[in-house]
Amino acid sequence: MRKRGLALAMTAALVVGTLAGCGGNSANTSGSQAAQQSEAQTADGEQSREEVTLSAFIQQSVTGESGIWQGWGAQKLHDDLNMKINFDPTGNEVESKLSQYLVAGELPDIIGFKGLDQAQLAMDAGMLLPLDEYQDQLPNIFGEEVYQNAVKYSQDYTSGGSGKLYIMPTAIGPTAYNAYNWVPLLQWSVYKTLGKPEINTLEDYLDVVEQMVKEKPTTPDGEKVYGFSLFSDWDKYTALEISTLSFMYGIDTEYVSTLMETNIITNETKSLLADDSFYKRALKFYFDANQRGLLDPDAMTQTYDEMVAKLSSGRVMFSWFSWLTGTYNDPNAGHVNNEEDPDGYASVVAKDMKLYEAPDQTIGRNWYFGISKSCKNPDAALEFLNWLYDLDVCQYLTNGPEGVAWEKGESGEPVITNWDIVDQKTEMLMPEDVGGGAFQDGVYAFNTLGPQAATELDDGFTLSYRYWPSTIERDATKTKMKVEVNEWLGTTTLAEYLYANDMVGKSTQAVNMVQIPSDDQQIIETQIGEVVKKYSWQMVYAKDEAEFESLWQTMVNDAKGLGLDQITEYYTTEWNNALEKVKDYE
């Protein structure tokens, strides 16, 4: 998996970058000049470097925190490079914030893009550093074999035709077994109280959840319980948390285009607003939920954090992401290991579903890191980016320092030795001598790193503890609720159950190979998106089915008037091109 020799050879040629802060050097300052400026002789003759702080705007970050990076991950960076990262706030409306930077003509030093369309704007404006011109300073990116397809593809297809490497993809490598993002979850205790009724289709959840709410109308604290809840923070061109149900049926509504439905089982694509689209089915699903009084009335207006707080309190019966459980499934919440009645959000998959399984990310996913051309200290930024793609650093940021939460046994197999730190990932349990903070403070600020968590390292084990043999064995009996769920499924993992019942839709890397449209077309897409978002939420809260259908037709007509057919034709052609292109990378 790794060409260590090449990486080490390139490391020997690395020009030590300046770390004198972002107010000194121009973007053309050479590494040797920077080193001369930042080095100072100590009393014993050794070289030392001044501390530097780089600014970063990481759009894909799930945290709204800002300021200087803190905790054990930040300490690792400081120990290795004498460097700090100052995060600009992200939170809501990250696209608008990026636009403000672009209009101002200056980006923070390190940029994390969560879409090629956003990255393209920065490339078109000439605001990103061409990374391939600094290969000697990026030995990890250009030397590790696992990254080479991603580098080549980015140069060939995501560089605006320049052949340069302006943006480096993330999450490169094999997809992990049993790692499903879109999974229907139900509160286990109430579901089993009802006798675990069979669920054959998406619509069957309505009947089951209605019974569950009758069984548990309020929490022990007296708060009202809802069958379903949503949030609109992440809406771009659609009511995103509604369209995302499509992934439970092997239909991509994100990577090819949020205005298209791409069936990765049949390789067919069509408009999200086709009359037989899944999106209409999903809207009808939540419309029916609202008609039955099962939908949280705040679904359209509440934030992600507000919705998560309800999940944490057990106020919602259904969730649609495998990780979207708030703190309800955390062991210290007292539910999953309850002696008398184990509870939590459990995977309960309808019989007709085919859960979307991500492809092996040979070219990475549609999230990228880049360096601002206006950075006053490009050598420091390059050194940081190289550090961020170092597989050993990524292993550290993912698992913590060896000897704290994990260690290697006599056979060399890594094993978690302190599950309290890992399980209680948001608690401040990391030792102060390594930097303190919570277990999640390694990766959390970036959301994703260069390699996939399932990337195999030189020792034959995966980068992340989540896929070590001992962890997989533990997961089967991790909690009392997990034991009950696995007994019900008849398997030790969800993946085993899904594959045994032909309930997996394995995707193709082609979903990440669709070229972004022109600026003019993006304007049209934005206008259509505003129409779709507006009418989608109105449809969910429509007074009756007649109004639901009327709103749908108005939405379709308005979208067509703005150029929907043109958009559909473009992505249909691009999707077919991607299916040909992918043959060279899979």
Are the CB atoms for 147 and 390 separated by under 8 Å? Answer: no
pLDDT of residue 11: 36
CA distance to 10, 15, 32, per residue, from 138 (Å): 8, 10, 15
Decide if 290 contacts 538 (C-beta within 8 A): no
What local confidence, expressed as pLDDT, does residue 48 receive?
A: 60
Residue-level pLDDT at 47 = 45
Q: Which two tokens stand for residue 283?
A: 């809207």
Q: What is the DSSP string of 310-327?
A: HHHTT-BSEEEETT--TT
Burial class for 36, CB neighbours closer than 10 Å (0-12, 13-18, 19+): exposed
Please list, residue by residue across 285-320, b when 16 or more beta carbons sit within 10 angstroms of its beta carbon and e when fewer do: bbbbbbbeebbbeebbebebeebbebbbbbbbbbbb
CA atoms within 13 A on the CB side of 463: 29
Q: Which residues of the chain have pLDDT under 50?
A: 1-47
Q: DSSP 3-state assignment of 415? A: strand
The pLDDT assigned to 361 comes to: 87
Instruction: Tell me the pLDDT tens digit for each residue of 27-66.
Output: 333 333 333 333 433 344 344 678 999 999 988 876 556 8
Residue 270: which H helix or E strand, with range? Answer: strand 268-271
How much is the pLDDT for 33? 34
Q: CA geometry: angle at 266 spanning 264 and 270, to 5°?
A: 80
C-alpha angle 269-273-274 in degrees, rounded to nearest 5: 60
Rounded to 5°, the CA angle 366-368-371 comes to 160
pLDDT tens, 548-569?
999 999 999 999 999 999 999 9
* Structure confidence by residue, pLDDT tens digits, 159-168: 878 899 999 9
pLDDT at position 65 is 66
> What is the distance between the alpha carbons of residues 357 and 377, in angstroms, rounded to a whole number?
40
Q: Which two tokens stand for residue 102?
A: 């672009």
> What does the alpha-carbon distance between residue 205 and residue 211 come to, in Å, rounded to a whole number?
10
Q: Distance between CA atoms of 195 and 257, rounded to whole angstroms?
A: 40
